[in-house]
Amino acid sequence: MKERIYKIIEKAEDEDVVSKIFDYAIIILIIASIASVILESFSGFRTKYDYELYLFELMTVAIFTVEYFLRIWTADLKYPQKKALAARLIYLFSFMAIIDLFAILPFYLPFIISIDLRFLRVVRLTRIFRLFKVNRYSDSLQLIGKVMKEAKEELLTTIFLMFFVILISATLMYNAENSVQPDVFPNIIASLWWAIATLTTVGYGDVYPVTAIGKMLASVIAISGVGLVALPTGIISSEFMREISKQKVCKCPHCGGDIG
């Protein structure tokens, strides 16, 4: 019976109808749960359906809690070569188990420690992370994750460079514009907002330079922004290429030897 439960809560195999129904039910529940968070943000809806929203919350958390403990219980079937306790501990600290915990924790937390209600509202948002469960079934997310992991060092260096350029440009812009627009660029921290909006080419238009020097600076930074977009793209492209070429093994059809 334990094996049956394990097979149901895991990704369904082709012929396993019950497991498939379970998979789709979980996906629907996740989407409904997210919809309830969105609907709750409408003040009219919140006032009118406060009780229904609470009931739905109760039901979702109950189901996800049962599912969470079933997954821990069947963890020894997931890692058969490990001992029962070791398998459960490995599972507990796996990425997916932490996501599962985050989905139910915001409900139980106020019972354990007293939390400010306003802050609680923000914590409950972690429920949206349940969406990642849908992706448990996706292969290409793993490929993307692998590529990001391989390129991690280069990407972090790019973010560091970005941060560096943002800091330099914000400081320069503060010096160029502070005397003319003291309300818009009162200090370097406020200039950072402008620098980020420009370097990422978002450009809301709420903050922009008006002096000649400020505009020259902004031009240099906007053009640098194009380069800083090109850098992570180039890194990710080449990493994707490497990942794909790894999978391809070139063998000579005649002599059978590896090539490349």
CB of 185 to its own copies, least distance (A): 9
Q: 217-246: which residues touch its own copies (CB under 8 A)?
A: 218-219, 222-223, 225-242, 244
Q: Which is nearer to its own copies, 17 or 259 (CB)?
A: 259
Q: Which stretch binds its own copies (CB under 8 A): 13-21, 57-65, 108-116, 168-176?
A: 168-176
42-73 in b/e form (b: 16+ CB < 10 A) is eeeeeeebeeebeebbeebbeebeebbeebbb
Comparing CB distances to its own copies, the nearer of 87 and 166 is 166
Tell me: does residue 203 bind its own copies (CB under 8 A): yes
Residue 174 touches its own copies, criterion: CB under 8 A:
yes
Q: Which of 7, 20, 82, 215 forms a contact with its own copies (CB under 8 A)?
A: 215
102-108 contacts, C-beta under 8 A, 24 or more apart: 102/126, 102/127, 102/129, 103/64, 103/127, 103/129, 103/130, 103/133, 104/61, 104/64, 104/65, 104/68, 107/57, 107/61
Residue whose tokens read 């229904």: 52
Nearer to its own copies, 92 or 203 (CB): 203
Question: What is the Cα–Cα distance from 240 to 242, expressed in whole angstroms?
Answer: 5
CB 77 within 8 A of CB 2: yes
**Residues 154 and 195: beta-carbon distance below 8 Å:** no
Return the number of the residue (72 or 131) whose C-beta is nearest its own copies.
131
| Interface with its own copies in residues 43-102 (CB under 8 A) | 43
Residues from 137 through 166 that contact its own copies (CB under 8 A): 138-141, 143-144, 147, 153-162, 164
Give the footprint of its own copies on residues 97-136 (CB under 8 A): 121-122, 125, 128, 131-132, 134-135
Shorter beta-carbon distance to its own copies: residue 61 or 176: 176
Closest alpha carbon to 194 in 186, 203, 217: 203
The count of residues interacting with its own copies (CB under 8 A) is 91
Helix (H), strand (E) at residue 165: helix 152-177
In the complex, what is the shortest distance from the CB of residue 53 to its own copies, in angstroms, rounded to a whole number?
A: 14
Task: Report the nearest approach of its own copies to the CB of residue 101 (Å).
Answer: 17
Shortest Å distance, C-beta 129 to its own copies: 8
